[in-house]
Structure 1
Amino acid sequence: MQAICSSFSGLRLSPAAPRAQGAGRRELAVQASVQAPAVDLPVRKLDGSEAGSSSIALRVADPETSNGLVHRYLVHVQRNARQGNASTMTRGEVRGGGRKPYKQKGSGNARRGSKRSPLMPGGGISFGPKPRDWSASMNKKERKLACATALHSAAGDMLVCADFSDMAEVKTATLLGALSAMGVDAKNEKVLLIVNEPNQNVYLSGRNVPTLAINTSHAVQVYDVLNADRIVVEQSALAYLNEWFSQQA
């Protein structure tokens, strides 16, 4: 999977055709996204047999800005996940310190005016954390474009499977067996399973597998996409992804 770097150069501004002299300042054309070429994906049935092929073709970020855009979206998600409730007490908030601990001179110790000093056990904390809001804003069009870019960059590790709607029992071995038959080792690889609709049986069967993440096509998480070694997508979910992420932002 393509590595995500930490640089962000913004949208590329390319000069349009120059106008005649005296017509004023020339215009700038903003190129924010491009239609990526289709990538063929193998299709497997739940028993592992081949069922043809499919393709994924999404509208992705411009190559010059894609890394920075996806990185900014990942930072946005991680910042918004922080609770920001860490809190410490300063020397003005801890208890005690009403009297001088010991006399000013003659004890051989340093001069102390209060036992609430940060230098003493039980005293306040200097420059400690206080509750704060870590959230960062990012508009919907950018988030959509960044998620599409991350998905398309992971197409080489993607596999399409038949829908799990016929899975009638809640059993981890059944889910892992179906993935193994398709050549996906969910025990030793980090796997992302994208289903089209919430499936209670699939969720209950896979929630106790630490290396397996389950997303719906309507709520694909960019962190799970970037973190996964293999991505398994239901056929109906792939159709939704192609339709939603191919629309012009």
Structure 2
Amino acid sequence: MGLLDNKTAIVTGSSRGIGAEVAKILAGEGAAVVVNYRQKAPRANKVVGEIQAAGGRAVAVGADLTTQEGVQALASAAMEEFGSLNVLVLNASGGMESGMEEDYALKLNRDAQINMLNAAVPLMPEGSRVVFVTSHQAHFVETVPTMPEYEPVARSKRAGEDALRELLPNLSDKGISLVVVSGDMIEGTVTATLLDRSNPGAIEARRAEAGKLYSVEEFAAEVAKMATADVESGHTEYVGGADYFGKSA
């Protein structure tokens, strides 16, 4: 018996990296998983194939979460494919990509998170869980300076977290809990690669400060754990290196 037997999970931004690993872990716990991608259908299909090969259930859904159509398509897919929605992992984020409009980070990291939650909540029964994935650099951005290259993204992700926390009373009325997972820089992620490109040595410096940086797989395991962890709504789970930032913030 898995912890998520007969449950359905949506994992946003799950065609690669942390999201893909979270999707696989949740499927291993028995959940039917909606794997979300923006453009990379082959990657998402590969994740679905791996889940199905291991005996799990999953479907890939292309959806741009900065559009209302994308948000609705993703929420609807859970009900149409699997008949329920019990876990929503808000993992998709970005803003360091080149060639995006100026306010893209805020659109994705704040507005899309709220829109996705609002689309999902009417479908989620009492006892459901929402997990928002962020970074220490974003979570603590008001008190601990981050790298200039990352600051707009960090501030947009903090704005997203704040906006989600404002919905805690509404969620509580429906019996839905929200947990925030804040992680240090993660080895091998797109963000870390882009940061290191614009600020060579940044990852090495952070690794030296923290003593260790989590791998994608290690961090994903911590995120997935929070889908079923017995913690209060509004809880922040710190993963690695948070002492440097001062956890009280």
Band the TM-score falls in, shorter-chain normalisation:
under 0.3
TM-score, structure 1 length as denominator? 0.25
Larger Rg: 1
Higher relative contact order (CA 8 A, sep 6+): 1
More helix by share: 2
